[in-house]
Structure 1
Amino acid sequence: MMNRARNIELTTKYLDAMQAGDWETVEAMYHDDIVIHMAGTTPASGRKEGKAEVTDRMIAEQVHGALVPERMHFASRWRIMCADDERVCIIMEGGGPTKAGDVYDQVYCEVFRFAEDGRMIEMHAFFDTALAERALFGNALATPREKPEKPLAY
């Protein structure tokens, strides 16, 4: 049975690997049957099932494929917001410049659930979908918005 301390340890390992750009460790932490729920209506949104769909299609092609690889920075700043025996909720920043010349500096709120073997089995991801549409998928809003006067603090 998973417990709060173990969930925090696994989450920290996952985010430290992202911060270091250690994508081999990140991928190894995904369960073969992982399910990721992505917010919104972007091309990356919806329910992603299975490690191959998550790592090959969504992460490699849609997110990393749009970014300048040597300048990507994920989990550059993160915090565990809450954790229990079932799940861990984090807030994280990450992204980088896109190959199309835009900037994808995103803030994510993610909820993780780990399997008994210590691999991530489920994730819910919430993020700025308008930013993703513009920077990753070339679909700008008709009327761009400015950053808020008081940005998100955590």
Structure 2
Amino acid sequence: MSDQNTAVVRKYFDALAAGDLDTVGALLSPDVVWHQPGANRFSGTRSGAGEVFAMIGGMVESSRGTFRIDRVDHLMGNGDLVAATIHFVAERDGASLALDGVDLLRIADGVIAEAWLFGSDQDVEDAFWGS
């Protein structure tokens, strides 16, 4: 089962990189619960694919289209959980963000049901996104 779940997460990251939002949406449970870390305007728990898309859209808009996961280094499955080590970047208002992170995704029925995100320097990320 871990291999199938890891394949779902690989497809999700590939779709994000390609800007294929239809596939991204199809890989999120309609009832997905998303735990975005920190103390910035995008932090908090989102419930439902619509709220998750609105949050990601806000990040893309705020960064004038520069926010992206530019590298997925490792995917590791353990039952219904998949951990991904990633690197993400963004630019806005003369500032830049480039951090490592870990996304922990719970897969249920072939879609992402819950996500917990971790950044390597939350203070830097909070300062970049602002309140």
Normalised TM-score (structure 1)? 0.75
Pair 1:129 & 2:112 matched: no
Residue 61 of structure 2 corresponds to residue 73 of structure 1: no
Q: Which has the larger radius of gyration?
A: 1
For the structure 1 residues 11 and 65, does the alpha-carbon distance in structure 2 shift closer, same or farther, using more than 3 Å as the test?
A: same
Task: Say whether residues 1:53 and 2:51 are aligned partners.
Answer: yes
Q: Give the CA deviation at 1:135.
A: 1.8
Deviation at 1:43, TM superposition (A): 2.3
Q: Residue deviations 1:13-67, cap 9 Å, x none?
A: 11111222323322221111000112222222221111111111x1112x11211
5 Å-filtered alignment, 1:101-120, equals 101-116=94-109, 118-120=110-112
Unaligned runs of 5+ in 1: 140-154
Letter matched to residue 125 of structure 1: L
**RMSD, aligned CA:** 1.8
What letter corresponds to residue 14 of structure 1 in structure 2?
Y
Identity of aligned residues (%): 24
**Structure 2, unaligned runs of 5 or more:** none
Runs in 1 of length 4+ with deviation above 3 angstroms?
Answer: none
CA 108–23 in structure 1, closer or farther in 2 if over 3 Å, else same:
farther
Which residue of 26, 31, 51 corresponds with 1:33?
31
Q: 2-side partners of 1:28 and 1:106: how far apart? A: 27
- Answer 1 or 2: which has greater strand percent: 2
d(CA) in 1 for partners of 2:34, 2:45:
6
Aligned residue for 1:6, secondary structure, equals helix
Scaled by the length of structure 2, the TM-score of the pair is 0.87
Q: 1 or 2 for the larger relative contact order (CA 8 Å, sep ≥6)?
A: 2
